[in-house]
Chain A
Amino acid sequence: MISRRTLLKSGAGAVAATLAAPAIAQAPKKISFLTWNIIDQEPMIRGWIARFAKDRPGVEVEWLDKKGPEIPVFYQTQLVAGTPPDIINTQGALGLEYAAQGALLDLTPRLKADAAVGSRFNADYLSNWAYEGNNYLLPFYITKTLLFYNKPMFQKAGLSGPPQSFDALIDAAQKMASGDASGFLTLNFDWLYWPLYATNGIDLLSKDLTKPTFNTPKAIEVTDRLAKATEAGAINKISWTGRWVEPNGAFAAGNVGMLHAHSPAYFFVKGQGKWVTPETLGVAHAPGGFATPNSHGLGISKASKNPDLAWDFLKFVTNEGAQELGVNRKLVTGNIAVDTKNLADLEKSDPLVYSILKTQLEHTDKMVGNWRLGNDSKIKEAFWPELQNVLLGRKDAKTALADAERKVARELKRG
């Protein structure tokens, strides 16, 4: 179901590629494509590679897929050895870190030269990976956090709808907590919990990313409230101790009122939670419409020997490929045309998934928790353990935030 426009574009692209083909050397030109945990789509990707190579004689695409925890160790080793894959798929801020390291090719000149490419993407998501003003990755598929909620639990607690403010959220969580049941759960990795702070006007760093700005009375108050709510059982403790399986599993068990997670969580929860139906699962934005993105991007390694070919492939994947990806995996790709079409179809075929994916494209100007930091993981490591200490009742908010400020400042100074 390709729109005529896309067909024309790809037709033009194919013609251009065919015309360019004789100019490409007869010896096989090989590029390698590293993806992040997408092995379930093997037929689709092999199809992409076949179609791409068909129009370009002498071109080979080596496809490598690794699971999330394996990618950094694999990629970094290849980087040091000088043989990194030409195209790399990263999740979240990792792409920025690699860009800051100098591992990725600056795509800005190519985007300028090929204006049609840049404009096909949602600008907010594209700028997710703009480091120091330059673009390094293109969106592969995008996600950001939203609020899932358990409608029956809401009804039982006498709540009319999803909370519209932080206070309402804590309040609702309190109302739904009793015995084994808790009111609110959030994922905590990669800054996914940050909307809770953003909605209170708290920012981690100054606009120029040089100074920590989170050690404020308001932040102390918010952290304190979160800690107290956790202790009271309103906020499920797993929010602060779990990673993926535990929090989503807990929500799937059906006794947690709200889950603050990004869209892929839905599929996990649906798989495990027998109670999940369009009538029982509510979908909303977090209070204030704030959300942390956790998208997958595609970049080109600077050490690539065939950057033009890699760029070609990137364009192909984010255009022709995006269509298939969006349909197969039921996600949003960041390609405006593709997403608009896919969502229109989903509205009829799977309204619940439609409502979830719709949130991914709304309020994209309110995305938080993705500071364009080259040392994102170091800052995270300096901040999160201190916060966790408070939320789990091991430290008081004032001391912890002060300690975190010290540590973050140290990391920022080191650059």
Chain B
Amino acid sequence: MRQRGTFLRHATLVGVSAIMLLPFYWVLKTAVTNENIYAYPPRLLPESPHLFNFVDVWYFIPFPRYLLNSLIVSALVVASNIVFNAMAGYALTKSFAGKRAILLLFLSCMLIPFQATIIPAYLITSKLGLLNSYLGLAFPLLSTIVCIFVFKAAFEAVPQSLVDAARIDGLSEWRVILRVLMPLSKAAIATNVVLAFIWSWNAFLWPLIITREPTMQTLPLGLARFLSYMEDTTGALYAFAVMVLAPSIFVFLMAQKEFIRGLTSGATKG
């Protein structure tokens, strides 16, 4: 019985995985060739694969500089997200006058699309004197509402008894967060890290607007320059997609052990 259940599980997951991976296989196949991707019939295997697309980029654009810029901005965003979001998430676990209003405010802020804020965001950043700067690139993403709620939910799931016990021991609010709540919210921290990294790493429109100096451009912007001036239908585009994707996957793989614990480790809670 157990074996049938497990087999079924695996079968389903393999099926799902195949669907999720198919586009990737296609992308990778094209990234290592230069064939006409619109040819019919489509070829299932890459023809004369090579890695030139990946290599060329080092020579055509100041890749290290753009990489550095992206890394700095993403580091800023991830660090501030963890700190600010944990703080806000914690504050939202308490009850206080105006809590509903603040919750409503946060929820509403989520519903404002970036495209509608481009001009005012630019003017504000300009007034702050942060154009063309790392802080300016990072500012709109220094805190994100989805991640605040992730922390809020994680903190609320910590048994009240643990928090009370800590307070009896005389711990300050900060210490409560650091010593009690955070260690039990590793998954929430991991989610924050992964999401904050992805959102800042992939940002294209904001860096496009906010940077005029070529040396301050981030990787997606810089790589876009590398694309053929005619609408791209060759492997270069796909190599670009893969290169921008790789670091985010790396961050996810590093953080992902926090997304699951074995059944045996449930004893740490409750």
Which residue numbers of A lie inside 8 Å of B, CB to CB?
Answer: 32, 37-40, 62, 64-67, 70, 73-74, 76-77, 80-81, 244-245, 249, 253, 264, 267-268, 271-272
Query: What is the 8 Å Cβ interface bit string for chain B, positions 204-230, against chain A (1 contact, 0 not)?
Result: 010011001000000000001100111
Residue of A nearest to B225 (CB): A39
Partner of A70, one of B208, B230, B231: B208
Partner of A73, one of B123, B208, B228, B231: B208
Query: What is the 8 Å Cβ interface bit string for chain B, positions 191-210, against chain A (1 contact, 0 not)?
Result: 00000000000000100110
Q: Which residues of A contact B225 (CB under 8 A)?
A: 39, 65
Q: Which residues of B contact A38 (CB under 8 A)?
A: 229
A70-B208, A81-B126, A253-B40 as given contacts; A40 in contact with B119, CB under 8 Å: no
A65-B225, A253-B40 as given contacts; A77 in contact with B122, CB under 8 Å: yes
Q: 20 other contacts beyond A253-B38, A272-B233, with CB at 8 A cut-off?
A: A37-B229, A39-B225, A40-B228, A40-B229, A62-B212, A64-B212, A65-B225, A73-B209, A74-B208, A76-B119, A77-B118, A77-B122, A77-B209, A80-B119, A80-B122, A80-B123, A81-B122, A81-B126, A245-B38, A267-B230
User: B36 an interface residue at 8 Å Cβ cutoff?
Assistant: yes
Bound-state Cα–Cα, A106 to B207, Å: 32
Question: How far, in Å, is A69 (CB) from chain B's closest CB?
Answer: 10
A65-B225, A73-B205, A253-B40 as given contacts; A244 in contact with B123, CB under 8 Å: no
Partner of B38, one of A32, A64, A249, A267: A249
Q: Which residues of B contact A77 (CB under 8 A)?
A: 118-119, 122, 209
Partner of A244, one of B122, B205, B208, B231: B231
Bound-state Cα–Cα, A40 to B230, Å: 10
Bound-state Cα–Cα, A32 to B38, Å: 38
Q: Which residues of A contact B205 (CB under 8 A)?
A: 73
Q: Which residues of A contact B39 (CB under 8 A)?
A: 253
Task: Let me know if B209 and A74 touch, CB within 8 A.
Answer: yes
Selected A-B contacts with CB under 8 Å, 24 pairs: A38-B229, A39-B225, A40-B228, A64-B212, A70-B208, A73-B208, A73-B209, A74-B209, A76-B119, A77-B122, A80-B122, A80-B123, A81-B122, A81-B126, A244-B231, A245-B233, A249-B38, A249-B233, A253-B38, A253-B40, A268-B230, A271-B230, A272-B36, A272-B233
Interface residues of B in 33-60 (CB under 8 A from A): 36, 38-40
Residue of A nearest to B61 (CB): A39
The residue among A77, A249, A253 with the most chain B CB atoms within 10 A of its own CB is A77
Task: Let me know if A81 and B123 touch, CB within 8 A.
Answer: yes
Bound-state Cα–Cα, A38 to B229, Å: 7
Question: How far, in Å, is A88 (CB) from chain B's closest CB?
Answer: 14
Task: Let me know if A272 and B38 touch, CB within 8 A.
Answer: yes
Query: What is the 8 Å Cβ interface bit string for chain B, positions 112-145, against chain A (1 contact, 0 not)?
Result: 0000001100110010000000000000000000
The interface size of chain B toward A, counting residues with CB under 8 Å, comes to 20
Bound-state Cα–Cα, A37 to B38, Å: 23
Question: How far, in Å, is B127 (CB) from chain A's closest CB?
Answer: 10
Bound-state Cα–Cα, A77 to B120, Å: 9
Residue of A nearest to B38 (CB): A249
Residue of A nearest to B121 (CB): A77
Q: Which residues of A contact B40 (CB under 8 A)?
A: 253
Bound-state Cα–Cα, A77 to B38, Å: 36
Task: Let me know if A245 and B229 touch, CB within 8 A.
Answer: no
Bound-state Cα–Cα, A40 to B61, Å: 12
Task: Let me know if A73 and B118 touch, CB within 8 A.
Answer: yes
Residue of A nearest to B228 (CB): A40
Bound-state Cα–Cα, A393 to B230, Å: 32
Residue of B nearest to A37 (CB): B229
Bound-state Cα–Cα, A62 to B123, Å: 22
Interface residues of B in 86-133 (CB under 8 A from A): 118-119, 122-123, 126
Question: How far, in Å, is B244 (CB) from chain A's closest CB?
Answer: 16
Bound-state Cα–Cα, A360 to B212, Å: 35
Q: Which residues of B contact A32 (CB under 8 A)?
A: 212
Bound-state Cα–Cα, A67 to B212, Å: 14
Q: Which residues of A contact B212 (CB under 8 A)?
A: 32, 62, 64
Q: Which residues of A contact B36 (CB under 8 A)?
A: 272
Q: Which residues of B contact A267 (CB under 8 A)?
A: 230
Q: Which residues of B contact A70 (CB under 8 A)?
A: 208
Bound-state Cα–Cα, A299 to B21, Å: 48
Task: Let me know if A67 and B38 touch, CB within 8 A.
Answer: no
Q: Which residues of B contact A264 (CB under 8 A)?
A: 230
Question: How far, in Å, is B74 (CB) from chain A's closest CB?
Answer: 22
The 10 closest A-B CB pairs, nearest first, are A40-B229, A249-B38, A77-B122, A245-B231, A80-B119, A77-B209, A272-B36, A37-B229, A244-B231, A268-B230
A40-B229, A268-B230 as given contacts; A67 in contact with B224, CB under 8 Å: yes
